[in-house]
């Protein structure tokens, strides 16, 4: 048996569990709500609405960055759903006593956790890809029906911007999901893990930014958000104030911290339930 066999077994086992209706429900919610936000943003721009939030979007709309600017307005919701999927599924293994049964057959804890996490990451990234592609197609179809010019969006520069946005969104979601893994391992409870992870994403870093703006730029969620935000126009953002290279380096450091922290905590835990 090769060293990777336990990891692959755990990966295949979790992939099978990803076929549950609750997992597809999460993907469906991500897709439906993101498409709604995308269409709502498109409608606001094309209807001539004005305001502090709409004006920067309207300025970017006819450029090669117009498509990702519209589609990107649902990013926060995608992050929340992805975080919920990861934390709920991992933490449920403690709540349901699954870890104890699994470790009887497979004592290699770290490979088991890594295999399960890789399967969850694959599911989340596939869901995100489907959501972004479907939202982009929706905007293009509606724009064509209303006679809106989309040549800039589908030009080589526009497609390059979309692929750059997509690749950075992948990095962002990987970082967020690794944070969810750490929270699930530390809390070992579905309700607590989901509550803590969502509360952290929605509240603390925003409050810290109001009182310590220069330091908050290095916190994980804000750093992960800077990566796809760097593709947007400056007035749409969020543009990384420390520069893209520094933001990417810090994001990779945070990901490493989350992985190491999760593995160390999981390896030392007394799993008896």
- Looking at the structure of the chain, the number of domains it has is 1
- Asked whether residue 149 is domain-assigned, the answer is yes
DSSP string of 83-122, one letter each residue: HHHHHHHHHHHHHTTHHHHHHHH---HHHHHHHHHHHHHH
Band (pLDDT 50/70/90 cuts) for residue 233 is confident
Q: What is the mean pLDDT of residues 136-156?
A: 91
CA angle 201, 202, 205 (to 5 degrees): 70
- Asked whether residue 256 is domain-assigned, the answer is yes
Q: What is the mean pLDDT of residues 136-162?
A: 92
Sequence-ordered list of residues with C-beta below 8 angstroms from that of 235, at least 6 positions apart, any chain: 56, 59
- Asked whether residue 273 is domain-assigned, the answer is no
Residue 148 pLDDT? 86
Q: What is the mean pLDDT of residues 118-136?
A: 94
- Asked whether residue 56 is domain-assigned, the answer is yes
**Inter-residue contact 17 to 125 (CB < 8 Å):** no
Task: Please state, as a whole number, how many other Cβ atoms lie within 10 Å of the Cβ of residue 265.
Answer: 13
What's the whole-model pTM score?
0.89
Residue 22 pLDDT? 78
- Asked whether residue 62 is domain-assigned, the answer is yes
Domain hosting residue 228, numbered range: 5-268
Residue 8 pLDDT? 77
Q: Each residue of 260-272: pLDDT tens digit?
A: 999 998 888 766 5
Residue 104 pLDDT? 65
- Asked whether residue 264 is domain-assigned, the answer is yes
Task: Please state, as a whole number, how many other Cβ atoms lie within 10 Å of the Cβ of residue 125.
Answer: 16
Of 72-81, 102-111, 157-166, the poorest mean pLDDT is in 102-111
- Asked whether residue 85 is domain-assigned, the answer is yes
């Amino acid at each position: 048996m090769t060293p990777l066999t336990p990891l692959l077994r755990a990966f295949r086992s979790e992939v099978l569990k990803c076929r549950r209706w609750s997992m597809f429900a999460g993907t469906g919610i991500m897709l439906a709500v993101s498409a709604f936000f995308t269409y709502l943003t498109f409608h606001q721009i094309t209807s001539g609405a004005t305001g502090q939030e709409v004006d920067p979007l309207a300025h970017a709309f006819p450029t090669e960055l117009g498509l990702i600017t519209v589609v990107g307005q649902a990013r926060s919701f995608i992050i929340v759903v992805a975080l919920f999927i990861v934390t709920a599924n991992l933490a449920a293994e403690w709540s349901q006593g699954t870890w104890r049964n699994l470790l009887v057959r497979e004592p290699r804890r770290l490979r088991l956790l890594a295999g399960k996490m890789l399967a969850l990451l694959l599911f989340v990234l596939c869901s995100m890809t489907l959501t972004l592609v479907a939202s982009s197609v929706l905007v293009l179809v509606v724009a064509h029906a209303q006679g809106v010019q989309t040549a800039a969006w589908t030009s080589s520069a526009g497609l390059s911007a979309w692929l750059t946005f997509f690749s950075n969104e992948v990095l962002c979601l990987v970082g967020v999901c690794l944070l969810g893994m750490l929270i699930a391992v530390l809390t070992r409870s579905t309700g607590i893990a989901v509550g803590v992870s969502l509360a952290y994403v929605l509240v603390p870093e925003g409050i810290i930014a109001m009182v310590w703006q220069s330091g908050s730029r290095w916190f994980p969620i804000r750093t992960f958000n800077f990566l796809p935000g760097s593709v947007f126009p400056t007035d749409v953002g969020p543009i990384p104030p420390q520069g893209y290279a520094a933001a990417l380096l810090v994001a990779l450091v945070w990901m490493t911290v989350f992985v190491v922290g999760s593995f160390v905590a999981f390896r030392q835990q007394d799993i008896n339930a």
